[in-house]
Structure 1
Amino acid sequence: MSGHGFHVHGPHDHELEHAAQHDPEGFAGQLAVITAILATVGALFSYMGGATQANAGLYKNNAAIKKTEASNQWNYYQAKSSKQNLSELAVALVPEDRKPKYQDEIERYKKEKAEIKAGAEKLEAEAVEWDKKSDEQMHQHHRWAQATTALQISIAMAAIALLTKKRWLEWGTIGVGALGVAVGVAAWFHI
């Protein structure tokens, strides 16, 4: 508070002035900027990690749906096989004049089964593709999580460097932060 030549410093103002006078190289300021950058990049990496994890779950769910649909088709295929078998048995048991009807049914069931089989195999292939996409997203999620963890460690090192005023810890902060950014870049490029 100042007015009419009278000036009073609060404890916070005093500490800032004291830090500025005793930190001619801007050690605290450098660490503050580094920490802010690391925290911002870490927040972005954390978001991407969460997004890829959500995508992995969604893709795994899609794979499960396709597997269920394929299973339903295989059950339908089996039902047609059973009907075909009954028609084949009927051909062996019925009089000659009724055999053509059952022969036609056998041919119809064979055709229907071929279509059902093709559909089931297509659904199984789609399930495999969704599983693959899910696995890729989980791999990418792990990379984002590793990058975020390295940045969090770097931020903690910055706090320790600030408290201890050790320059080597500031360099360690930068090094671990750079490692975190490199892992984040690997995640971005799906490596």
Structure 2
Amino acid sequence: MSGQGFHVHGPHDHEIEHVAQHGSHDSFASKVAVMTALVATIGAIFGYMGGLTQANAGLYKNDAAIHKTAASNQWNYFQAKSSKQNMAELAMDLSTSEEQKAKYRDKIARYEKEKNEIKDEAEKLEKESQEWDERSEKELHEHHRWAQATTALQISIAMAAITLLTKKKWLENLTIVAALIGIGLGVVAALHH
């Protein structure tokens, strides 16, 4: 941070600045710095994909809730029509004139038809709600894969900083392994999309 003459940076930043200003005579440090920059770039892409899948999961879950509420409203409407139909059936049973009975038979038939239409709409909305829920779960699963990939790359970057400080070849190899694991997890996440 450089606000008022105060600047803090890590060993990786120091190596990059040193190479930029003086050139590099240390191929080990240069190689680790370039590898770290590449891993950080890939990590940024994976982080973006993780955020995208998480946002999509939330949006899809919201769509599922909206459809579920609409289905519930339709079922309530269905119940109201059933109550009206029951009242019409009772009124028909209590009627003494054929004219009144015919009027109530027509109402009962109309309520039955309306109930069937409402039921079809409610079932359609429930199915759509379930589909949105499934899409949300799929996106959330993919988000976890991207998050795992990003975490492995972040570990690799941290290990690269330690590698620069210690200049240990075995630690460089371990850093590469962590980066490859992260990249592999990212490929798996991309293939499942």
Return the TM-score normalized by structure 1.
Answer: 0.88
1:96 Cα deviation from its structure 2 partner: 2.7
| Residue type at the aligned position of 2:53 | T
In structure 2, C-alpha distance between the alignment counterparts of 1:125 and 1:57, rounded to whole Å: 19
RMSD: 1.9
Match of 1:189 among 180, 188, 191: 191
In structure 1, C-alpha distance between the alignment counterparts of 2:158 and 2:84, rounded to whole Å: 70
1:44-72 deviations in Å (ceiling 9; x for gaps)? 00000000000000000000000000000
1:13 Cα deviation from its structure 2 partner: 6.7
Change in 2 beyond 3 A, CA 1:116/1:63: same
Q: How many correspondences in the alignment?
A: 176
In structure 1, C-alpha distance between the alignment counterparts of 2:139 and 2:91, rounded to whole Å: 53
Q: Which position in structure 1 is the counterpart of 2:7?
A: none
Q: Which position in structure 2 is the counterpart of 1:174?
A: 176
Q: Which position in structure 1 is the counterpart of 2:75?
A: 74
Unaligned runs of 5+ in 2: 1-16
Change in 2 beyond 3 A, CA 1:18/1:134: closer
Q: Percent identity?
A: 62
Unaligned runs of 5+ in 1: 1-11
| Residue type at the aligned position of 1:109 | Y
In structure 1, C-alpha distance between the alignment counterparts of 2:166 and 2:97, rounded to whole Å: 101
* Rg (Cα) greater in structure: 1
Q: Which position in structure 2 is the counterpart of 1:7?
A: none
Match of 1:107 among 99, 109, 112: 109
Change in 2 beyond 3 A, CA 1:164/1:99: same
In structure 2, C-alpha distance between the alignment counterparts of 1:153 and 1:41, rounded to whole Å: 13
SS in 1 for 2:157: helix
Match of 2:133 among 131, 134, 137: 131
1:72-126 deviations in Å (ceiling 9; x for gaps)? 0000000000000000100111113210100111111111100100000000000
1:124-163 deviations in Å (ceiling 9; x for gaps)? 0000000000000000000000000000000000000110
In structure 2, C-alpha distance between the alignment counterparts of 1:133 and 1:18, rounded to whole Å: 51
Q: Which position in structure 2 is the counterpart of 1:43?
A: 44
Return the TM-score normalized by structure 2.
Answer: 0.87
